């Protein structure tokens, strides 16, 4: 296929993230084209295929028909995390490149199988982390890599949403099998991955504590978790992920020369602000909301056309699941857990 032609995508899973963000992004893309949509409900698939101009629609049971379509070069997986593995494996075995929503999977074993299968079948594999392309996060990373903040000492980060009993949250969010955990897997994965990327370093040990107040809803997963990650360089990260507080997020970086905060840090619908103080001088900058998902799908399309390994790769998504698993084990065992990759 010509190098300048847009890459054809199939989107698997038509929940809220696909409806609100992934599918609309194709209308703004110059490098990617929506070819097919896949859902458990054929009527739903037909509706969104029409709404977003996809030529093909099918059910999960008919996924092989989607993979037989030569126009489909990449598969964007947006199902619940516990379902990511089977679609990623099938896509890779069919020679399709794979981009998967975060968290990469519900378990370390699932994530590792996804990475290994894509590698064996020589297809590109990307974890769908938007922060690598979003301008305020890129600015924060430049403040760190430039040395403006000096040696980084402490990181504080949080991502919280309020999901009380009886609201309209999807049931899979509270299923350990489908999500792998609670807010740590759904929200805390942003805290883990973004900070690893910002400082270009992986943590070596984890500790944590979790809580449940609303026991009618939180029967299989935690309602909130606070965790600490230790890095070989000496950086200490304090993180929190919760379904029990108002919608909010931040990343606060403390260095020997100054500090900087990004807030809100992770939601894609809101205006973002970076502020801080370096060498006694205050600074602040505001960033308007943009379509972060078009940046993501166009970047992956460009990697496909140029046979370039994407960053964040599937391997990076696997590392996040390994870290999250270590945090959960630390919570359960009430001790520090060494992280082995």
Q: What is the pLDDT of residues 260-300, one digit of tens each?
A: 999 999 999 999 999 999 999 999 999 999 999 999 999 99
Question: Rounded distance, CA 237 to CA 214, Å?
Answer: 27
Predicted pLDDT of residue 156: 98
Predicted pLDDT of residue 1: 39
Predicted pLDDT of residue 2: 44
7 beta partners: 32
Which architecture, in CATH terms, is 7-128?
3-Layer(aba) Sandwich (3.40)
The SS3 assignment for 336 reads coil
Predicted pLDDT of residue 148: 97
Question: Rounded distance, CA 341 to CA 322, Å?
Answer: 7
Q: Does the predicted model carry a pTM greater than 0.85?
A: yes
HSE of 201, CA atoms in CB hemisphere, 13 A: 18
State the DSSP code for 174. G
Cα distance from N-terminal residue to C-terminal residue, the chain: 37
The SS3 assignment for 7 reads strand
**CATH of the domain spanning 131-290:** 3.30.360.10
Burial classification of residue 140, based on how many CB atoms lie within 10 Å of its CB (0-12 exposed, 13-18 middle, 19 or more buried): buried
User: Which residues of the chain have a pLDDT value below 50?
Assistant: 1-2
Q: Residue 246 contacts by C-beta under 8 Å, 6 or more apart in sequence?
A: 160, 162
Average pLDDT of the chain to the nearest whole number: 97
Predicted pLDDT of residue 226: 98
Give per-residue pLDDT as tens, 69-116.
999 999 999 999 999 999 999 999 999 999 999 999 999 999 999 999
Where do the structural domains in the chain lie, given as residue ranges?
Answer: 7-128, 131-290
């Amino acid at each position: 296929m010509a190098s300048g032609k847009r890459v054809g995508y199939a989107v698997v899973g038509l929940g809220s993230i696909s409806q609100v963000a992934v599918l609309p992004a194709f209308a703004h893309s110059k490098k990617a084209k929506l070819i097919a949509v896949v859902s458990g409900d054929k009527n739903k698939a037909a509706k969104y295929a029409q709404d977003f101009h996809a030529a093909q629609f099918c059910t999960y049971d008919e996924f092989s028909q989607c993979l037989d379509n030569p126009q489909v070069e990449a598969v964007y997986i947006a199902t619940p995390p516990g379902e990511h593995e089977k679609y990623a494996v099938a896509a890779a075995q069919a020679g399709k490149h794979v981009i998967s929503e975060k968290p990469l999977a519900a378990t370390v074993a699932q994530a590792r199988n996804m990475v290994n299968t894509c590698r064996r079948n020589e297809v590109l594999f990307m974890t769908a982390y938007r922060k690598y392309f979003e301008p305020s996060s890129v600015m924060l990373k430049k403040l760190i890599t430039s040395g403006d903040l000096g040696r980084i000492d402490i990181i504080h980060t949080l991502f919280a949403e309020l999901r009380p009993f009886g609201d309209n949250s999807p049931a899979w969010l509270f299923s350990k099998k489908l999500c792998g955990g609670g807010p740590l897997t759904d929200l805390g994965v942003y805290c883990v991955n973004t900070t690893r990327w910002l400082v270009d370093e992986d943590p070596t040990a984890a500790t944590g504590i979790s809580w449940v107040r609303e026991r009618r809803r939180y029967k299989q997963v935690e309602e909130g978790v606070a965790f600490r990650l230790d890095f070989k360089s000496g950086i200490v990260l304090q993180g929190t992920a919760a379904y029990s507080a108002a919608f909010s997020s931040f990343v606060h970086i403390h260095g020997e020369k100054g500090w900087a905060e990004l807030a809100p840090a992770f939601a894609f619908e809101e205006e973002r602000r970076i502020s801080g103080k370096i060498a006694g001088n205050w600074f602040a900058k505001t960033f308007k909301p943009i379509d972060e998902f078009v940046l993501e799908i166009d970047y992956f399309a460009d990697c496909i056309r140029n046979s370039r390994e994407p960053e964040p790769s599937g391997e990076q998504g696997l590392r996040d699941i390994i870290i999250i698993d270590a945090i959960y084990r630390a919570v359960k065992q009430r001790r520090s857990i060494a992280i082995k990759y």
